[in-house]
Homo-oligomer: A and B are copies of this chain.
Amino acid sequence: MQRIPILQMGRTLLVTIQVDLQDQTALALQDDLANKIQHTGASGVLIDISALEIVDSFIGRMLAGISSIARVLGATSVVVGMQPAVAITLVELGLSLHGVRTALNVERGMRLLQQADDRLQPEVNEVSDEEQSLDADPR
């Protein structure tokens, strides 16, 4: 059985789906991803589907499943690189990828994850918050 590699880049995990997903491969991916999030403490998961020419209800469910698992483990996930034809077909089929966050490409997805990460770590902004309050009240 084929396993889809999961790459770690800082606090983000990157998955590129290139092959037609069979049940076993999809289950193994969910499993691997959950373990990797736990081991690395990753805060974001980026799933690139630019190589997929067909996204049917099975893949849609798989993506929603991965999103839910990541959320439960405290990570944000973004699906990126969807081909325009795939987006059109999804809408025509009435598959809305409910609960799955999407972005145009890897760079925008990364930015989205960064923003989500910043929002979850308010202590990082402590200094700038102090500065702001100083600005607001200069006395």
Contact = CB atoms under 8 A, between A and B. Distances in A.
Contacts of A9: 9, 106-107, 110
A51 B3 contact: yes
Most buried by B among A7, A48, A51: A7
Nearest to A80: B7
A16 B16 contact: yes
Nearest to A2: B18
Interface string A104-118: 011100100000000
Contacts of A18: 2, 4-5, 16, 18-19
Interface string A16-43: 1011000000000000000000000000
15 contacts: A2-B18, A2-B51, A5-B18, A5-B50, A5-B51, A7-B48, A7-B50, A7-B81, A7-B105, A8-B105, A9-B110, A10-B107, A14-B14, A18-B18, A19-B19
